[in-house]
Amino acid sequence: MDPVTTHLGHRPGKIFAVHLSYASRAAQRGRTPRYPSYFFKAPSSLAGSGTLERPAGCELIGFEGEVCVIIGTAGRNIAQADAWSHVGWVTAGNDFGLHDMRYADKGSNVRSKSGDGFCPVGPGLIDAATVREDRIGVRTWLDGDLVSDDSTAGMIFPISQMIADLSRLLTLEVGDMIMTGVPAGASVAEPGQVVEVEVFSLDDPSLTSGRLRTQIVEGPALAEVGNPPKVDDTQRSDAWGFPVGTVKDAAARKEPLSEDVRRRLGNVGVGTLSVQLRKRGFNEAILDGVAPLRRGDRLIGPARTLRYVPYRKDLFAAKGGGFNHQKQVVDSLREGEVLVMEARGCVEAGTLGDILALRAKTLGAAGIVTDGAARDSAEVENVGLPVFTGGRHPAVLGRRHVPWEHDVTVSCGGATVCVGDVIVGDDDGAVVIPRDLLDEVLADAEAQEHRERFIAEQVGAGASLDGLFPVSTDEWKARYEEWLAANPLPTP
């Protein structure tokens, strides 16, 4: 049984949920509502920590870690100034949704948001009298990785406004609950993954709900009656929190490079890879103007992305502080990934420093590339993470940049980079390889370098470049084939 029902001795009568209430989420969605809007979740969706089924044949279980408030004193036409006094308890909540069914109810969310177990809360209740409504933190973890960290100070609409607004037309009764909306960081959980949410006082962290824990499991398929599950790339983008499509879908984002592919990429030069890309018409695959902070560093891995826009006071106030997009993407890096930053080639302020580099290194990231500048560059070098930058600068982010969005297509050093593309860097610079071209580009690069080994041997023995570099005459072609028979290209 859920802790609210246990505490009250009866199931709450109404559960309200807010569509959009945090500035960070509004920025992510690209729209800021003038007033709060709501939908209902069925009281039967209440649960505590436990498991939640994703029906077989469905794809998208979305999680939204939120602050949940429970009415302790009934009221109608409650003044906003008095609203918080009507809250009895505060706890953690997770507004789960089955995005496969969102299309079916045209915004009412009846089936997508009210399934059994789709509103877990708890595990503990915080006395609302012990916390301030604008000083409540909320954090969400996916498989132990922090994916969202915000507080009610980041809300567009205070909770008291929601209470006053709702009570204009209906009586709020003891036990009624308000799921107060989700900050940036909401995404999708898959079977086998665990989502945890904690709500706590910013003034006294010992006042906490504890971690609400939900494990996603595979359940039976939905009965074939009524609307069938259905998703498209627009719905996937909304659920995952970043655009999806060709190689930039969820599977590509999570697919690591094999150790064998990493080894092979490490044995070919960026210059050779650029030749092979150019042969295929990819003349803009080089990330111009970026170089390793520390000579000798190599960089290999699938791309995650971050985009900065030029500094503007109001935009930085809305998106520059707190758990912004810069921190969100760094904090969600996975082993072997490369973070690529679009900073418009502006090197008049730092786009990363030693703390971000250290966090990326700790998470096992393969490196960071920015066409902006690095701050604390000596300390960044000491972290030991391969970092390629457009320069060095002592100024902080807010001098020139606003962290705008992450896991979107970006431009870095004049090259377009999609999530999942492969980044390779060495002392010559860095290139981006479209994921679907990786196998053929790598194989041909290996063949090119093997051929150039033959050419180097002949030049070292005194041969002229004429007809040899590149191998073009019948004589040199025959000699190369003879050499190749004795020195075959290693099998990948």
Give pLDDT tens digits for 42-64: 999 999 999 999 999 999 999 99
Task: Please check the confidence at residue 157 and state whether its pLDDT lies above 80.
Answer: yes
Amino acid at 147: V
Amino acid at 42: A
Q: For residue 394, count other CB atoms closer than 10 A to its CB.
A: 11
Tell me: the pLDDT tens digits for 359-387?
Answer: 999 999 999 999 999 999 999 999 999 99
Task: Please check the confidence at residue 246 and state whether its pLDDT lies above 50.
Answer: no
Q: Is 397 annotated as a binding residue?
A: no
Looking at residue 252, what is its pLDDT? 47
Looking at residue 24, what is its pLDDT? 85
Q: Is 376 annotated as a binding residue?
A: yes
Q: Is 143 annotated as a binding residue?
A: no
Task: Band the pLDDT of 245: cuts 50, 70, 90.
Answer: very low
Q: Is the CATH number of domain 250-438 3.50.30.40?
A: yes
Q: What is the mean pLDDT of the chain?
A: 91
Looking at residue 91, what is its pLDDT? 98
Q: Are 112 and 104 in contact (CB under 8 A)?
A: yes
Looking at residue 250, what is its pLDDT? 46
Return the CATH fold of 3-240.
Answer: Fumarylacetoacetate hydrolase; domain 2 (3.90.850)
Task: Please check the confidence at residue 73 and state whether its pLDDT lies above 60.
Answer: yes
Amino acid at 353: G
Task: Please check the confidence at residue 431 and state whether its pLDDT lies above 60.
Answer: yes
Q: Is 312 annotated as a binding residue?
A: no
Task: Band the pLDDT of 318: cuts 50, 70, 90.
Answer: confident
Q: Which residues contact 419 (CB under 8 A, 6 or more apart)?
A: 242, 247, 248, 252, 253, 302, 303, 304, 305, 407, 408, 409
Task: Please check the confidence at residue 243 and state whether its pLDDT lies above 70.
Answer: no
Domain boundaries for CATH 3.50.30.40 within the chain: 250-438
Domain boundaries for CATH 3.90.850.10 within the chain: 3-240
Task: Please check the confidence at residue 108 and state whether its pLDDT lies above 80.
Answer: yes
Bridge partners of 10, per DSSP, are: none
Whether the CA torsion 5, 7, 8, 14 is positive or negative: it is: negative
Beta pairing class for 187-189 and 136-142: unpaired
CA dist 385 and 360 (Å) reads 8
Most confident of 165-174, 185-194, 326-335, 455-464: 165-174
Tell me: the pLDDT tens digits for 255-314?
Answer: 688 899 999 999 999 999 999 999 999 999 999 999 999 999 999 999 999 999 999 998
Q: Is 105 annotated as a binding residue?
A: no
Q: Is 345 annotated as a binding residue?
A: no
Q: Which of 344, 111, 119 is nearest to 222 (CA)?
A: 111
Q: Which of 488, 475, 485 is nearest to 447 (CA)?
A: 488
Task: Please check the confidence at residue 19 and state whether its pLDDT lies above 50.
Answer: yes
Task: Band the pLDDT of 492: cuts 50, 70, 90.
Answer: low
H or E, element range at 163:
helix 159-166
